[in-house]
Structure 1
C-alpha cells in the first residue's frame, strides 16, 4: 500500500474575506471577439490533432531556462514543467492556486500559438496593454467520461486523443488515503499508443510520501529520462469527478467552501480526494506527481476544467465572488503565512514577468478575453 502525501489534506487556516473592487469593463472584450475554450469531445478530430501537434512541437523547441541551473530541462515543454516545479510550494493548497494556474494556462496557450503556430490570434485594441488571446485550447469535462476513461476521446489511444492507458504493470499498488483505499488502475506502465507514445520525460518523478514542504525535494531539476506512465482509474473518476461533486462545488457558499470542496470529498473529510485531486489521480503517476504533473499532456485540460468551474462560480455572484480570496502564499496555508491580497505578485520565472493576483481574477477583464463552452 502506498500512503497518500499529506498534501491531500488542505489546512485552511485563516482567511482573507471577499475582496471587492469596482467591475472592470473592457469594451474590446465581448461575445464577438472572445476566444472560446471547448471541451475535448467538442473538437473535431482535425482540431484535436492540431493541438497535440502543437504540444509535440513545444517538445522540439529550445529551452529558455539555463541548462547549468536546470539540467533536466531539454526543451520548451520542459520550461513549463520546471516552472511548475519551482513554484509548487507556493501555488498548491494556498491562496495562489486558482489565479496562478489560470495565468499558467494562458501562458501555455499563448506559447502554443506564438511558437508553434497553434490557431489564430484575435485582434487587440492596444497590444501593449492587453494580453493577446488564442483560440480553441481545450478542457476535460470530467463527468462526461468518468465511467469509462479508456473509451473517451481523450484517452482512447486514437491519433486524435491525448494517448491512452499505459502497459499493464503488475507491480502497481493501490493507494491508502485516510479511511479510503483507492484501487490500482488498469495500466501502470509506459504509454505505447496515440500521439504521445514512447514520449520521454526528463524531470521527476517526486515521491508522494513527503513530510516536509520547506524546499523543493530531490530530484529537483535533475535530468532523469524516463517513460510517460499512465494508469486509467475509473474508480477514482467516478467517485471524485462526477456530476454530483461538480454541482456541489458550484453551489459553494463562499471561497473557503469552494476551496474545501475542490480539495475534499465529502467536504471536511481528511485524506480524501476532491475534484482537483480526483483528476490527477484518475490517470496515473505522471499526473499524480504534485511537482512535475504538467509532463502529462492532460494536465492543461484538467486545469482548464478547474478554471472553467471557478469562472462559473465567480459569475454567479459578481459582487461577492469575482475578487474573493482566501489563504496564504505558502503551501498548506501554515500558521503565520502571509495572506494573499489582490496586490500579491505571482511569479512565473522565465515564462513571464510577475503578475498581480488582481490581473488573473476575470477571464474577460484585466487583459484576458476568453470564455468556455
Structure 2
C-alpha cells in the first residue's frame, strides 16, 4: 500500500513532467523602484515624438552599477589627484595659458601629424603602467561603480563628464605634449543613408565597426581582466556599429539649442526631445558592444570623442545663455528636483569638485572648440580627405568605406584644418528642359559632391538590414560562454505602420486593386477592427529606419544580480498582419542552488519598443508583465545549457517523426511588438501642466534690422527666427564695429569668432583676408613685404560687403560699401560698446569658450 505522502509526491512529479501548461519554476517581479521612477518621468510622452529605445536605454543602462565589483581606489588616488590639482591651477591662471590652451577640432579635420600624435598619445596611455593596470584603463574604470549614478540621470551629467574628459585630455598631453582631445561630430555621419559605412570606421581612422577591433590604431585592444578570476585573460573591445541606435541628427542638436534654460535640456524636468542626455544615448547604442553598457563604454576610445561632442553642444548652449539671454550658465544649475546624487553641492568622487563646480566657467579657461566643418559652392572642399561637400546645405559629410579619400586642394603650406567660413550660395533650382536639346550631355561629376542614390539602392539597403550581434559573453568580468544558459522567447509583431503597401495586390473582377495589398490588415473588416483599431499614433523610428518587408527585433537580457548583458535578434516578416518568431536569450547560469535575476527587453531595428508578456502560472495565458524574471535550477527548468540544447527543447526531433514537434511549454515570456504610442510599463498619462519658468532676464526681441550675437558682436542682418538665428551651415557675417570679428552659423546658432593674427574679415568674400587690421588703420603705411595688392597707381582696393573703391593708403578704406576717413563717415577704429570685451585685432580664428574672468 502506497503512503499518502508518497502518492502526492508522485502526482506532483507527474504533473511537472507529463502535463502541459504546468507552471514553470519562474518568478515574475515588479519593476525596480528606480526603474519605475524613471519610466514614470516619461509616462506623458507619446512615442511619435521621440524614439522609444532612447527612453528605455536612458532608464535601464544605469542598472548595471548595481552589480559592479568595488575595486580598490587607493593606488590611483595620487595620480588622479595630481590631474585634478592641475585642473584647479589652470582654472585659477597658475599655469601659463598659452602652454595649456587646447583647441578641440572635429576628428577628421586634424592634420595627418595631429591625428598621428593623437593616436600615439592614446596608445601611450594604454602602455603606461604608472598606475595599474595602465593609465587608460584606470581612467576608463572611473566611469563605473557609484560614479554611474552621479554621471547619469540628472543635471550632474553635464559637469561630471566635462571634468572627466578634461582629466583625460591632460593625461593625453602628458604622453604627447600638445595633443588635445578631438570631438566626433556624429551628425555628419548621420547624413549618410547607411552611417555604419562611414569612413570613420576605416583602418585609417577608428578601425572596424563590427566585432573585436582588429584594424586601425586601436587594433587588438582589450579590456582589463577580472583580477579575482584564475582565468586572467583580457576580453577584447567589441563594437556592433549600426545594428541599433542612431547618431546625433542636425535637427536634434538644433532642438536642444532652441531651449532657454538648463532645466529644459537635462533631467528631470526636460522634454526628451530636447534632453541632451537622452539624445546622447543613441550614439552609445549605435556603436554597440562595449559602448552600449555604461560601465564598459570608456574602454572604447571613441567614447571620449563622442562625449567631447556632447560637451561642444553644451558649450554652444552656454554661450547662448550668456550672450543672448544674459543668463550666467555657471549659476543656472537645475535645482527643482530630488534626484539622489545630483544636488548642486554633491561631491564628485573622482575629483575635489561638486556637481555645481562642473558648470563653472573656470573649467573651460584652457579649452577652445573649433567649429564643425562646413562648405559652400564657392569652397566645395571641406579641407579634409575624409569629408565631401553637400552643396545644397553647406554640410560636410563623410566619404564611405567604398570610397577613396579625396585629394585636398593644394595651397601654400600645410592644409588649414580650420578653413575660413564661407556663406553657401542659394540653392539654384534645376534648369528647365531645353526643347531644342532634349538629351543634353551630362556634366562631369564633382568629386566633392556625394553621388545620387542608385535606383536599386533599396535592394542594397535590404541586404544590410539584418545586422549581427557580437556578444562579449562577459559575466562579472569573466568572459566565457560556459557561464551562460539559454532561454527561448517568442516574438510576436504586428505589421509596421510605416509599411503601407507591399505591392502584392488582389485582383477583383479581373482588375488589380491597388488600394491595399493582400497582407494589409485594413483590407479586411475583422483585422481592421481588431488589429488596426488598437494602434495609436505611429511611433517614431530612427532617421535611417526603413520598413522594407524584412524586420529585425533585438531582444536583450540585463543582469540584475550579476554584471552582464546579452543581445540577440529575431527576424520577422513585416508583410504579414501578425507574425511570430523565436529568439534564444542567454542569462547567467543559476548553478545548483542559485538564482538568476534579469531584465528582459525588446525593440525593433527602428528603435520602437515592444511589450513584455509573461505566462500566468494558473491560466497559462500570456499577460503584460514588467520583464523582471527570476530563474533557478529547480525542475522543470526553463532554460537550456547551450543554444543547441535550447533548440532541441523547443523542437522535438525524437521518435520516428519526420517533422519536429513544437513544444509550446518551454516559453514563459513573449515580446509583443504592436507599435503603441507610449512606454508599455507605465500607465499613459496626460502631459503635466507647464511649470512657470523663472528667467533672470526676458528673452531678447528679434527685429528685422540686426541680429545680436553677444555683447561684443551685432550683425547687420536679421535673425532667421526667434528660436533659430540662422538657416545655412557656414553662413558668415562681420560683427558691426569690428575689423576681424565675425559670426558663423552652426546648428542654427551664430557663434562669434575672430580672424587669427589680427587679420581683417571680408564681408564680401565671407572669409578672413590676408590683410592685417593694423595695415587698414587710417594713417598706416604699407610695410615691406605686405601681402596687400596694389594697382599701378599704388592705391589699394579692398571690399568689405560693398563696392570697391581705390583709396589712399594713408587715408581711406572701404567698409560696408562706403569710404571712410578720419574726418567723415564711420570710423571702425573708434572705441565701440560692442568692442569692449575683444579688441578689434583680437587674434583667434577658433570659437573661444569660457567667458569668465581671466
| Equivalent residue number for residue 230 of structure 1 | 239
> CA separation in 1, counterparts of 2:150 and 2:292?
18
List aligned pairs for 1:58-77, cutoff 5 A. Answer: 58-62=125-129, 64=131, 74-77=133-136
2:150–2:156: 8 Å Cα contact kept in structure 1? yes
| Equivalent residue number for residue 370 of structure 1 | 367
Report the CA distance shift for 1:371/1:267 in structure 2 as closer, same or farther (over 3 A): closer
| Equivalent residue number for residue 243 of structure 1 | 250
Report the CA distance shift for 1:236/1:7 in structure 2 as closer, same or farther (over 3 A): closer
> CA separation in 2, counterparts of 1:9 and 1:30?
41
2:243–2:288: 8 Å Cα contact kept in structure 1? no
Secondary structure at the aligned position of 1:85 is classed as coil
Secondary structure at the aligned position of 2:280 is classed as helix
CA shift for structure 1 position 251: 0.9
Report the CA distance shift for 1:112/1:149 in structure 2 as closer, same or farther (over 3 A): same
Report the CA distance shift for 1:253/1:224 in structure 2 as closer, same or farther (over 3 A): farther
| Equivalent residue number for residue 326 of structure 1 | 334
Structure 1 moving runs of 4+ over 6 Å? 24-33, 261-264
CA shift for structure 1 position 357: 3.7
> CA separation in 2, counterparts of 1:63 and 1:199?
19
List aligned pairs for 1:245-324, cutoff 5 A. Answer: 245-259=252-266, 266=273, 274-318=278-322, 319-323=326-330, 324=332
CA shift for structure 1 position 312: 0.9
> CA separation in 1, counterparts of 2:294 and 2:270?
13
Report the CA distance shift for 1:321/1:163 in structure 2 as closer, same or farther (over 3 A): farther
List aligned pairs for 1:1-373, cutoff 5 A. Answer: 6=56, 8-9=58-59, 34-62=101-129, 64=131, 74-86=133-145, 87-114=147-174, 116=175, 118-120=176-178, 135-146=179-190, 147=192, 148-158=194-204, 161-166=205-210, 189-202=211-224, 225-233=234-242, 236-237=245-246, 240-259=247-266, 266=273, 274-318=278-322, 319-323=326-330, 324-326=332-334, 335=338, 337=340, 340-341=343-344, 343-348=345-350, 353-362=351-360, 365-366=362-363, 368-373=365-370
After superposition, the C-alpha distances for 1:313-344 in whole angstroms (9 at most, x for unaligned) are: 0111224251222269xxxx7x5736522x43
Which runs of 5 or more structure 1 residues have no equivalent in the other structure?
11-23, 66-73, 121-134, 167-188, 205-218
1:41–1:153: 8 Å Cα contact kept in structure 2? no
> CA separation in 2, counterparts of 1:28 and 1:140?
28
1:232–1:284: 8 Å Cα contact kept in structure 2? yes
Report the CA distance shift for 1:153/1:354 in structure 2 as closer, same or farther (over 3 A): farther
> CA separation in 1, counterparts of 2:233 and 2:155?
31
1:263–1:277: 8 Å Cα contact kept in structure 2? no
1:327–1:339: 8 Å Cα contact kept in structure 2? no
Give the number of equivalent residue pairs: 279
Report the CA distance shift for 1:149/1:56 in structure 2 as closer, same or farther (over 3 A): farther
| Equivalent residue number for residue 732 of structure 2 | none
Structure holding more helix per residue: 1
1:150–1:164: 8 Å Cα contact kept in structure 2? no
CA shift for structure 1 position 91: 1.3
> CA separation in 2, counterparts of 1:262 and 1:250?
16
> CA separation in 1, counterparts of 2:100 and 2:141?
33
Q: Give the alignment's TM-score, normalised by structure 2.
A: 0.30
| Equivalent residue number for residue 5 of structure 2 | none
> CA separation in 1, counterparts of 2:100 and 2:347?
28
Report the CA distance shift for 1:113/1:223 in structure 2 as closer, same or farther (over 3 A): farther
Secondary structure at the aligned position of 1:371 is classed as strand
1:260–1:267: 8 Å Cα contact kept in structure 2? no
After superposition, the C-alpha distances for 1:118-173 in whole angstroms (9 at most, x for unaligned) are: 232xxxxxxxxxxxxxx531001111112244454532222xx121212xxxxxxx
> CA separation in 2, counterparts of 1:76 and 1:227?
18
Secondary structure at the aligned position of 2:266 is classed as helix
2:149–2:341: 8 Å Cα contact kept in structure 1? no
| Equivalent residue number for residue 19 of structure 1 | none
After superposition, the C-alpha distances for 1:178-210 in whole angstroms (9 at most, x for unaligned) are: xxxxxxxxxxx2222111122111269xxxxxx
> CA separation in 2, counterparts of 1:196 and 1:263?
37
> CA separation in 2, counterparts of 1:153 and 1:197?
16
After superposition, the C-alpha distances for 1:334-357 in whole angstroms (9 at most, x for unaligned) are: x5736522x432221xxxx41234
> CA separation in 2, counterparts of 1:62 and 1:263?
42
> CA separation in 2, counterparts of 1:8 and 1:296?
20
1:163–1:197: 8 Å Cα contact kept in structure 2? yes
CA shift for structure 1 position 224: 6.3
Q: Give the alignment's TM-score, normalised by structure 1.
A: 0.64
2:225–2:234: 8 Å Cα contact kept in structure 1? yes
Report the CA distance shift for 1:316/1:57 in structure 2 as closer, same or farther (over 3 A): same
After superposition, the C-alpha distances for 1:210-243 in whole angstroms (9 at most, x for unaligned) are: xxxxxxxxx99x9662111112218733xx5110
CA shift for structure 1 position 97: 0.9
> CA separation in 1, counterparts of 2:110 and 2:58?
33
Secondary structure at the aligned position of 1:320 is classed as coil
Which runs of 5 or more structure 2 residues have no equivalent in the other structure?
1-52, 61-90, 371-854
Q: Which is greater in Rg?
A: 2
Secondary structure at the aligned position of 1:140 is classed as coil
CA shift for structure 1 position 296: 0.7
> CA separation in 1, counterparts of 2:55 and 2:125?
31
Comparing both chains, which one has the higher relative contact order based on Cα–Cα distances under 8 Å and sequence gaps of 6 or more? Answer: 1
CA shift for structure 1 position 266: 3.7
Report the CA distance shift for 1:51/1:261 in structure 2 as closer, same or farther (over 3 A): farther
